[in-house]
């Protein structure tokens, strides 16, 4: 996958997740199986994880390079990144610091879903501008975002 395909895939996956959680009834949204996060906390965690990217992509590239340095290895494919993420989780990896969600009440459901959707769109637009990517048009639900961005 190239940058554009990865960007499209991430946006589509985030929107599918938002749609899924938004349609959960109150009981399912608040359910916490075996001490795990509720669906609301999962939603909040994704929001907390994506939000910094939106900010990062509006910074000049030189600032990114100064803060984070240059990569010391080749880029990974989307599939390799997903595998690495799953391997970390399988080995006990957990969210930490500012990425750990607080308790989420049912009254926050719509607000968090809307905030995540907006930050995903902003990140997508920032990312495509940062790398100069031009995503292909398609008939999927996220195509409106792309059309609005390129209009």
pLDDT the model gives residue 70: 86
Distance CA 126, CA 51 (A): 12
In the chain, where are the structural domains located?
3-150
pLDDT tens string, the chain, 151 residues long: the values are: 677 787 788 889 999 999 999 999 999 999 998 889 999 999 999 999 999 887 777 788 888 888 888 888 888 887 898 899 999 999 999 999 999 999 999 999 999 999 999 998 888 877 776 666 544 444 444 443 333 333 3
- DSSP assignment letter at 134: -
pTM over 0.85: no
Contact at 8 Å (CB) between 104 and 45?
no
Count helices and strands (H / E) in the chain. 7, 0
- Pair 30, 66: CB distance under 8 Å: no
Q: What is the pLDDT of residue 131?
A: 66
């Amino acid at each position: 996958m190239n940058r554009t395909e990865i960007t499209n895939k991430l946006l589509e996956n985030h929107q599918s997740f938002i749609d899924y959680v938004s349609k959960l009834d109150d009981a399912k949204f608040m359910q916490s199986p075996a001490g795990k996060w509720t669906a609301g906390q999962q939603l909040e965690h994704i929001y907390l994880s994506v939000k910094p990217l939106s900010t990062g992509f509006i910074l000049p590239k030189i600032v990114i390079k100064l803060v984070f340095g240059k990569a010391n290895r080749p880029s990974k494919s989307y599939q390799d990144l997903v595998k690495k993420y799953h391997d970390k989780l399988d080995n006990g990896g957990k969210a930490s610091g500012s990425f750990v969600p607080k308790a989420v009440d049912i009254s926050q459901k719509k607000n968090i879903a809307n905030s995540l959707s907006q930050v995903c769109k902003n990140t997508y637009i920032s990312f495509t501008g940062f790398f100069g990517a031009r995503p292909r048009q398609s008939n999927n639900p996220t195509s409106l975002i792309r059309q609005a961005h390129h209009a």
